[in-house]
Amino acid sequence: MTVSSVNNASGNNQGGNGNSAADLSESFMKLLVAQMQNQDPTNPMDNNQLTSQLAQFNTAAGIETLNKSVYAVGMMLQNMNEMSATSWVGRNVYTEGDAKVTWGSQNTIQADDELSFNLKGEADKVTVTFTDETGKAYTAELKGAKAGVNTFSLDDLENFQPSEPDADVEYKVTYSASRASGDAPTITGLISNRVEGVSFNEEGAVMHLVGGKTVTLRDLYLIQ
């Protein structure tokens, strides 16, 4: 078989770009026909080799079809998830952020945002730090925190240092976590906010929160 015979046999395909399973199969069949026409009659093609080649091309075509199906299902699920985001209007969502609270005179916290955090893995102790605008900080310990989103009240805090925070002062709340083994699991402070509306762009659903903040689905830790 000459090279020109193969090239002429495969070069007549005008309908595709040569990348699809159909194009590849058509090219293969043309090459196969050319090979059979130009084979040495005294040394014909091996049937096992022919069967193996056909199986390889069928496998390639099947994989391409499967990939297209998986992609279509993925796009459908993504669209369904994005459209379901419209049902979240009016609900509270938790996103990353440092809560601002005021320590009340009656040992209560006044805040628009619940005190919450997300813990990546188990922790033996979580330290909660209250810092005022001058940089003065107070710490307390929180026991019993579990992996995932945690919410807590003042009654859950103990061992304040150097003392309980001063009353009627605004504080920023931050967190740190530790284990007895010495490593520190990742902990992220959360704030809750209400969804006012949902819009869509090339990246998917965008939630508009009270106060003008916008977040995407990837930014959410919890929906209530």
Let me know whether 21 and 130 are in one domain.
Answer: no
Is 53 or 157 the better-scoring residue by pLDDT? 157
User: How much is the pLDDT for 9?
Assistant: 41
Let me know whether 107 and 165 are in one domain.
Answer: yes
Is 101 or 4 the better-scoring residue by pLDDT? 101
Rounded to whole angstroms, the Cα distance separating 224 from 221 reads: 10
Place of tokens 């009656």: 106
User: How much is the pLDDT for 174?
Assistant: 94
Cβ pair 105, 161 in contact under 8 A: no
pLDDT band at 78 (very low <50, low <70, confident <90, very high): low
Return the top range by mean pLDDT from 7-16, 112-121, 181-190: 181-190
Let me know whether 23 and 75 are in one domain.
Answer: yes
Let me know whether 105 and 213 are in one domain.
Answer: yes
Domain containing 163 equals 91-223
Residue ending a domain, among 26, 49, 84, is: 84
Is the pLDDT assigned to residue 151 strictly greater than 80?
Answer: yes
pLDDT above 90 covers a percentage of the chain that reads 23
Let me know whether 72 and 95 are in one domain.
Answer: no
Let me know whether 191 and 105 are in one domain.
Answer: yes
How many other CB atoms are there within 10 angstroms of residue 130's CB atom? 23
- Pull the structure tokens for residue 108: 């209560």
Let me know whether 66 and 101 are in one domain.
Answer: no
pLDDT band at 74 (very low <50, low <70, confident <90, very high): low
Let me know whether 212 and 190 are in one domain.
Answer: yes
The values of phi and psi at residue 184, to 5°, are: -120, 115
Residue ending a domain, among 68, 84, 100, is: 84
Let me know whether 132 and 44 are in one domain.
Answer: no
- The model carries a pTM of 0.59
Let me know whether 117 and 210 are in one domain.
Answer: yes
- Pull the structure tokens for residue 203: 């990246």
Residue ending a domain, among 57, 84, 111, is: 84
State the total domains in the chain: 2
Is 169 or 62 the better-scoring residue by pLDDT? 169
Q: For the residues 153-166, what does the mean pLDDT come to?
A: 87
CA torsion 69-74-80-81 (nearest 10°) is 170
Let me know whether 79 and 98 are in one domain.
Answer: no
Let me know whether 46 and 127 are in one domain.
Answer: no
